[in-house]
Amino acid sequence: MISEGSAFLDRSGRVLAADAEFRALLGLPAGDESAALQRRAGTDAALSAFLLGEGPQSVRLAALNGSPPCELCRVGSDAGLLLRASAIGAALAAPAVEYAMQAIVLVRLAGSLAHEVKNPLNAMALQLALLGEKIGASEPLASTCAGNLGSLKLQIGRIDEVVRRYLDVADPAPSGDFDAGSLLADAANLFGHEARRRHVALACQAGPGAVHAAGDPGRVARLLLGLLWSSLSSTPGGGHLFARATSSAGEAVLSVEHTRGPPDPTLGWVADVVAAAAPEMNGRFEESSEGDTVRVALVLPKERPL
């Protein structure tokens, strides 16, 4: 469901869905959104380029036909554009854009995972165990096949672990506080294949039980996926990316450091989304650089405020 001043356009620029707030901010009549938006773009070169996916990820529109001045933010995907309109001076409504960010990143990650792989894996493990029992009846054959069976069990276990990480990051269980170290480690490890493909050395210093944080783990997972993807996309081949979970002074610090490279122009909005969301979770977003290393961090409270 699209809400809070949002609209979705297909690749031709046709408005597929738009809520009442979006229509009001842009002065678009219900039922005629596509034509009205194109008419407005015809008199505004910046808006026309924006709708084509060109130039900055946001554009400011002047007041028109009783509608207030507003800022339009764009999130692109292969399917089209998600647009988010907000009155000038209003804070970026993070949740709507976060879901778009999650969708884009998870679509890329899903390409390396088989559909509904859990049940086949369990069946394979069961059949392998039965096969091992049958082979075990013949001592010479059991000795010959032990290495092969062990290797198969190991590979099934590895695939099962990847799927578990994916599910834990994509749909973490809601809770008042959560294991932030495990969440960061699972998210970072999902990018292992993509890092190897890009010739980037990926490492993670985070583990279960070490760092806890208060808040919504599902929302934090979305933000971490965006930070990791944006950082990896801006890391040159031969560079490094290092994720770390630490705690200090009652705060959980989930950071990503990477070698500086050319930024991906389509992902410049990620930092804005995280910066807008962090205060809503009683946290903050940090961004800094030193030499050739860029650091971004999501800082969260370890306990909920009373």
For residue range 66-115, list pLDDT tens digits in order.
677 888 888 876 667 888 888 775 544 556 566 666 666 765 666 555 55
C-alpha–C-alpha distance, residues 185 and 147, integer Å: 30
Give bridge partners of residue 118 from the DSSP assignment.
Answer: none
Question: Number of C-alpha atoms within 13 angstroms, CB side, residue 62?
Answer: 7
Structure tokens at 254: 């989930």
- Which of 37, 51, 42, 39 lies closest to 81, judged by CA? 51
On whether the 172-301 domain is CATH 3.30.565.10, my answer is yes
Given this model, what pLDDT does residue 3 score? 46
Domain boundaries along the sequence of the chain: 6-90, 172-301
Given this model, what pLDDT does residue 53 score? 83
CA-CA-CA-CA dihedral for 92, 98, 101, 102, to nearest 10: 180
Q: Tell whether the model's pLDDT for residue 250 goes beyond 80.
A: yes
For the segment 151-167, what is each residue's pLDDT rounded down to a tens digit?
A: 888 888 877 777 777 76
For the segment 194-219, what is each residue's pLDDT rounded down to a tens digit?
A: 999 999 999 999 878 889 999 888 88
Q: Which residue has the tokens 């030193």?
A: 290
Question: Where would I find the H helices in the chain?
Answer: 20-26, 33-42, 45-51, 94-110, 118-136, 139-170, 180-190, 192-197, 217-233, 269-280
User: Who has greater pLDDT, 303 or 251?
Assistant: 251
Q: Tell whether the model's pLDDT for residue 1 goes beyond 50.
A: no
C-alpha–C-alpha distance, residues 208 and 92, integer Å: 33
Whether residue 84 contacts residue 97, with contact meaning beta carbons closer than 8 Å, is answered with yes
C-alpha–C-alpha distance, residues 306 and 196, integer Å: 44
CATH T-level topology, domain 6-90: Beta-Lactamase (3.30.450)
Q: Tell whether the model's pLDDT for residue 173 goes beyond 70.
A: no
Structure tokens at 222: 């979305």
Q: pLDDT-derived band of residue 256, with 50, 70 and 90 as boundaries?
A: very high
User: Would you call 291 helix, strand, or coil by DSSP?
Assistant: coil
C-alpha–C-alpha distance, residues 85 and 129, integer Å: 57
